[in-house]
Amino acid sequence: GEKVEQHESTLSVREGDSAVINCTYTDTASSYFPWYKQEAGKSLHFVIDIRSNVDRKQSQRLTVLLDKKAKRFSLHITATQPEDSAIYFCAASPSNTGYQNFYFGKGTSLTVIP
Amino acid sequence: ETAVFQTPNYHVTQVGNEVSFNCKQTLGHDTMYWYKQDSKKLLKIMFSYNNKQLIVNETVPRRFSPQSSDKAHLNLRIKSVEPEDSAVYLCASRVGTGGAETLYFGSGTRLTVL
């Protein structure tokens, strides 16, 4: 099955700096890569995604890059703010079976220092 | 805005007891999931249900069983809990079985097994 590796378990940045979280996946059939955010004591919510037909997607301060050849994708957060502090999960979803399951990385705990 | 509702929020029980967790979604989605999040925040898919049909069982122990009365409800029963079952159980839903639709998570049920 798919295995998603999330390389940074913790990340600390100063407010205003950029943060980058990297993930790799194993299944070449994976074609959808969402990112989820989990704030302290709360559940996960969707932040941004990318499909395999593009290699870059931006939404305000968030950008996702996808390198299909290397089976790698990353989340870039610019101009970080304290409210960006949370655990970020990357996920990969193969869509070749008629249904989709989401396989999550282990999460990266991002701390933005004011 | 909460659209996936889980009850209870917390449950403390002893080894060998039976527990049942409820999940209801008001989004009109066709597919629902149960995930287990352990103390290290690792997310593992347990079940995937589409229109009351179990479409994935990720080899969880037999003491776990999903129960669904309609596509808006997916409950989780644990027949005889063990200490390693202590975790947060997250219910999620999404629109359908194909494509790349966002997962919506409930707030979770935290189970503590003494």
Q: Do the chains contact at B103 and A101, CB–CB below 8 Å?
A: no
| B66 preceded by a cis bond (ω within 30 of 0) | no
Q: Do the chains contact at B43 and A99, CB–CB below 8 Å?
A: no
Question: Per residue of chain B (114 residues), what is the pLDDT tens digit?
Answer: 569 999 999 999 999 999 999 999 999 888 899 999 999 889 988 988 887 778 777 778 999 999 988 889 999 999 999 999 999 999 999 876 555 678 899 999 999 999
Q: How far apart are CA B45 and CA B50, in angstroms?
A: 15
Of B48, B50, B105, which has the smallest distance from its Cβ to A45's Cβ? B105
Would you call A45 an interface residue with chain B, using a CB distance cutoff of 8 Å?
yes
Could you tell me how many CB contacts below 8 A there are between chain A and chain B? 62
Sorted by sequence, the CB contacts under 8 Å of residue B52 that are 6+ apart come out as B68, B70, B71
